[in-house]
Copies of this chain bind each other. A is one copy, B any other.
Amino acid sequence: MEKEDWMREALLEAEKAGAIGEVPIGAIVVQAGKIIGRGHNLREATQDATAHAEMIAIREACEATGSWRLENAQLYVTLEPCPMCSGAMILSRVTEVYFGASDPKGGTAGTLMNLLTDDRFNHVAAVEGGILAAECGQILSNFFRELRERKKAARKKNTSNSLENKVE
């Protein structure tokens, strides 16, 4: 399978998050050509600040292999990882990290900094961004556009309700 095919699996995870109102980000961990961990963002559903797609996928992969060392593993994630998730990739020693869209606000795999290639830490991963970048970015921008539209409609409804109340 090509990198783009694996990223499509991460996108499927992102869609699962979006379907339940979570910011649509998805990740998978691959080892020896098999998916050993899957995750999608569950911050709101779980009210757990650490419930990012990558963390869930890494924890599932550790459980599946019975080891905290995910050597010779590839991680695919639809959005450039934050410091927490980049840190978890270093700790779990994944060999390669592929991400889709860049994150100008918090990306730490090349945008604000690159934690994954900083050789002061005790593991360095190979990083490649831009895999299916358009699709990975689009699912996020669609989500935030729809969120804004829903909020706008809710505000409009509230304003018209309060006007009606005043007339009554």
Contacts and interface: CB of A to CB of B under 8 A. Distances in A.
Interface of A: 43-44, 46-52, 55, 58-59, 62-63, 66-70, 82-88, 90-93, 105-106, 108, 112-113, 115, 118, 120-122
A59 B48 CA distance: 6
A32 to B, nearest CB: 18
A105 to B, nearest CB: 7
A108 B87 CA distance: 10
A118 to B, nearest CB: 8
A88 B50 contact: yes
Nearest to A83: B87
A73 to B, nearest CB: 11
Give the 4 A-B residue pairs with the shortest CB-CB distance, closest first: A84-B87, A83-B87, A49-B92, A49-B68
A91 B68 CA distance: 23
B87 A91 contact: no
A165 to B, nearest CB: 32
Nearest to A70: B49
A62 B86 contact: no
A127 to B, nearest CB: 14
Contacts of A112: 118, 120-121
Nearest to A43: B68
A117 to B, nearest CB: 13
A86 B108 CA distance: 13
Contact of A49 (B49, B83, B91, B118): B91
A107 to B, nearest CB: 10
